[in-house]
Amino acid sequence: MAFLKTQERTKERFSLLLLDLEEYYFEQHTAYHVTTSSNKERKVRGSLKVCSRSVIFDPEDVAEPILKILLRDCKKIEFVERRNLPSKEPRPSVISISCAQAIYIKESNVIAPYRNERGEKKVTFQLEGWSKTEDVVQTLLQLHRASCLEKLGDQTAMIAANLQSRLARSSFDKNCFQSVAEKPHMECAVERVTPLVSNPGHICITDESLYFQPLNGYPEHVTQIQLHRVRRIYKRRHGLRPLGLEVFCTENDFCSDIYLKFYNTADRDEIYYYIATFLENHITEHTAESYMLQWQRGHLSNYQYLLHLNNLADRSCNDLSQYPVFPWVIADYTSAQLDMTNAATFRDLSKPVGALNKERLDRLLARYRGMPEPRFMFGSHYSSPGYVLFYLVRVAPEHMLCLQNGRYDHADRMFNSIGDTWKNCLEGATDFKELIPEFYGNDCSFLENKRSLGLGRRQNGSLVGDVVVPPWASDTSDFLQKHKTALESQYVSEHLHEWIDLVFGFKQRGSEALAAHNVFHPLTYEGGIDCDSIEDPDQRIAMLTQILEFGQTPKQLFTIPHPQRITPRFHNITRSPSSNSPVSELSPASLSEESSFEDLTEESRKLAWANIGNLKPISSHKIHKEAVTGIAVTRDGAAIFSTSQDSTLKMFSKELKDFQRSMSFSNMALSSCLMLADGKTVVCSSWDNNVYFYSIPYGRRQDTLMGHDDAVSEMCWFDDRLYTASWDSTVKVWQCASDSSSSHKRSQFQLLAELEHDAGVNTIGLNPAGTLLVSGCKDGAVTIWDTSSYATHQQVHCHTGTIHHMAFSPDSRHVLSVGADSCMKVIDVQTGMVISSVKAEEEQRCFCWDGNSVLCGGQSGALLLWDLLSNTVTQRIPAHSGAVTAMWMSELCSTVITGGEDRQMILWKLQS
């Protein structure tokens, strides 16, 4: 298994996975972390790693945590000469770093989510052999300047220049040759690629061996591959460019011995053809057609053939954005016995995963027909880095932590059950993932939590442990054995060519793909976009990142129908019609009356609120897999956007009465959404610490704001200023400037202010004029801020628990808040006094109000109409079967939309 192979190379606690994605480890120095308490100096010996975006201290004592400081968080880095001791003995100079936060990793030597410690901090390091101290400080200052540049493109360019300078000043150490008789053929700078990591260095190829020497000496001084042992080599497309080369010393293993990324294609090709001269018939034998003939005649197993096709199509276990893809072959995960003589046991291999459920496909096709160009049927892919690590988190926890900024996914969204995962792939609105080779291998460790990793506790109270196998398997080992047997079975052998047509063949693109309902987003296909043609470096990096994270369709290997395997018929298998059709996720109620989004006249606003109790449900729709967290509506009311804890942003069309689009930016929950004034952009906040900008006309994510160190809970927008609240105890204010070169790109975010709180911020709201901001925290505190000076106007501790929602009255004189303590509080903005307090029978989660009347969504799922003058409930309207978690009201109250924990979205109309 690729992940285990890379981990076996070193026993160190430090790993390149502790770096951020696309970060480089440059150099290391033996050092001491010096701390002082009560005038006593304590020194911890270890290794100081200088990286392109951070400083990492790896202590020798494994009981001590690894310390990581991001350079962008550093306020000051300086060289400090210390006074001599009274004995006149010189004291060594030190590196002093003042920073805004520190990250602690592998505390007590346990692989676990990272701990971020915020607040001003001063960290001191003393180098062993301290004559180099000043040079190290200068290096850190240079890298710090790069990390603090406003544009990501400028940061990347400056770091790349630093890297190339280091590579140019060094060369391969020829003392590492195994034999003095070796003759060097070529030497050049490269990067060694392993999952999520690129490690720069030099290669040297001789008449006997290929050597790689990392710039940083990690994890070993040199790697040698003897050319006579090489069995296969492949040119690779890495980061959408023809720069990769992968070398195998095995015939059928999918894990290579080395994967190299070159800085230019000419160097790559020269090395490729030189190694090829050492391989017997390499160029003619290793083609898709030659492997196909071997497979067709039974000389290759189905497993071996799929591995070869993946390799030829640029899929590599070292590149998670192009990991080998294997099909689901079994459709029965409920029976006590697995009947491989019955075709109904197997998945229909002629259809992509997204087309296996007819009801879901019908909804996707309806969305597709109403979609502007470029159109696509499936809004997510069948293979992506997140999906690979979803399956492999138990053997690759550090990879998951690296991909997700030091966190695991929510426990209930982990890979907990094979049957449940298959069910979600059949029914989920955005889940179309296939499998990976490990499901057909011999190592069942990826299904077992052998390390007792703390992967979280599920909502039912159980800890995430081993993956639950189907009833027909006695344990994980038995599951793999039967799964491998199924892959090589008569039925799969007779139909595997149909799946190959979809993934690697003639049904991958064009009219045949359309007819087979096999159309993904254009950016996922090879040649879908030329990133080098994008002039703006920030746009180019953003586009490349989106493509690599979203998933990539394999290189097309066949342009005509793939022949069927020649197999002896041992059984007469016929496919019986499926008796159980999956339940639709989208179940609109009968539309008794056409929903209207037209605003009432301004004069009738008060009349509308007086009659707000006359709300009637128009339709209800279940389009999410988990609780709805946010609702936003276009100005014309034609489209409703909703976010959910299932990590998706959905678009619902009023006209078509159907779910039209689904977008997933990461695999963590989205917490809120809002519509920008231009009506073309939806902004979503996420538990993954980011804010995402989604372009409605272009149907894709157009930008990402990586703004916080913990979940972003809610947002507000006013006059090109974005206010983001987070559980990291801050509210941040951003100036969002449109890119002048493109009307649909919003790429410049300037941090104007950071408003500190004593606890995580759960909700925020702006007054209508945008002059005041109110924030509500998990500790029950309400703070009102002046948005011109960012000074605190009022702070009131008025709830005993988390504040769920708060908002200003239309005249900005009062703030209403609701919390987990079931209380509703009205605060006078001018004095900060609580002028009204109501203890409700149940928690109120969200509301809309006009200053006197409040329409609340309660924990029970009902809508409650409160009269704040009398502090009484005047009407109770049955709505959801679970708590009401989101609410939207049109400007003049004619329409209300509610979302709940029951995954329903209900549209209400005010009856006259």
- 6 pLDDT more than 90: no
Share of the chain above pLDDT 70, in %: 90
The alpha carbon of 12 is separated from its chain's Cα centroid by a whole number of angstroms, namely 27
CATH of 2-168, one of 2.40.50.90, 3.30.590.20, 2.30.29.30, 2.40.420.20: 2.30.29.30
In contact, 652 and 626? CB cutoff 8 Å: no
Give the model's pLDDT for residue 661: 87
Instruction: List the one residue out of 209, 246, 226, 234 whose CA is nearest residue 285.
Output: 234
What the block records as the tokens of 525 is: 């296909």
Give the model's pLDDT for residue 567: 65
Q: CA triplet 600, 602, 606: central angle to 5 degrees? A: 90
Instruction: List the one residue out of 722, 714, 799 whose CA is nearest residue 762.
Output: 714
- 748 pLDDT more than 70: yes
Residue 437, phi then psi, degrees to nearest 5: -60, -30
Average pLDDT rounded to a whole number, residues 1-21 = 71
Domains 2-168 and 174-286 alike in fold: yes
Q: How confident is the model at residue 130 (pLDDT cuts 50, 70, 90)?
A: low
320-550: in CATH 1.10.1540.10: yes
656-696, pLDDT tens digit by residue? Answer: 567 788 888 888 999 999 999 888 899 999 999 999 999 88
Render 371-426 in DSSP notation, one character per residue: PPSSP-SBSS-S--HHHHHHHHTTT-HHHHHHHTTT-PPPGGGSS-BHHHHHHHHH
Q: CA triplet 404, 408, 411: central angle to 5 degrees? A: 140
- 635 pLDDT more than 70: yes
| Residues contacting 461, CB < 8 A, separation 6+ | none
785-816, pLDDT tens digit by residue? Answer: 999 999 999 999 999 999 999 999 988 889 99
567-620, pLDDT tens digit by residue? Answer: 654 333 434 333 333 322 333 333 333 333 333 344 456 667 777 778 899 999
In contact, 36 and 53? CB cutoff 8 Å: no
Question: Which has more pLDDT, 529 or 214?
Answer: 214
DSSP label of 288: H
Average pLDDT rounded to a whole number, residues 730-736 = 94
Distance of alpha carbon 345 from alpha carbon 348, whole angstroms: 10
Question: Which has more pLDDT, 90 or 209?
Answer: 209
Give the model's pLDDT for residue 667: 86
Give the model's pLDDT for residue 189: 97
What the block records as the tokens of 89 is: 């003995």
Give the model's pLDDT for residue 87: 56
Q: Where are the domains of the chain?
A: 2-168, 174-286, 320-550, 586-622+844-912, 626-843
Of 72-76, 316-320, 375-379, 744-748, the range with the lowest mean pLDDT is 744-748
Q: How confident is the model at residue 84 (pLDDT cuts 50, 70, 90)?
A: low
Beta bridge pairs of residue 326: 435
How many other CB atoms sit within 10 Å of the CB of residue 166? 17
The CATH class of the 626-843 domain is mainly beta
Average pLDDT rounded to a whole number, residues 390-414 = 94
In angstroms, the Cα distances linking 475 to 423, 470, 471, 787 are 20, 9, 9, 60
What does pLDDT average to over the chain? 88
525-575, pLDDT tens digit by residue? Answer: 887 777 767 777 777 777 777 777 788 999 999 988 888 887 654 333 434
Give the model's pLDDT for residue 280: 63
DSSP label of 842: S
Q: How confident is the model at residue 356 (pLDDT cuts 50, 70, 90)?
A: very high
In contact, 257 and 211? CB cutoff 8 Å: no
CATH fold group of domain 174-286: PH-domain like (2.30.29)
Give the model's pLDDT for residue 410: 93
Beta bridge pairs of residue 37: 40
In angstroms, the Cα distances linking 459 to 345, 645, 647, 858 are 32, 13, 17, 21
Distance of alpha carbon 303 from alpha carbon 55, whole angstroms: 44
* Segment holding 867, helix H or strand E: strand 863-867
Instruction: List the one residue out of 86, 32, 22, 87 whose CA is nearest residue 57.
Output: 32
Instruction: List the one residue out of 428, 298, 355 whose CA is nearest residue 347.
Output: 355
| Residues contacting 62, CB < 8 A, separation 6+ | 13, 109
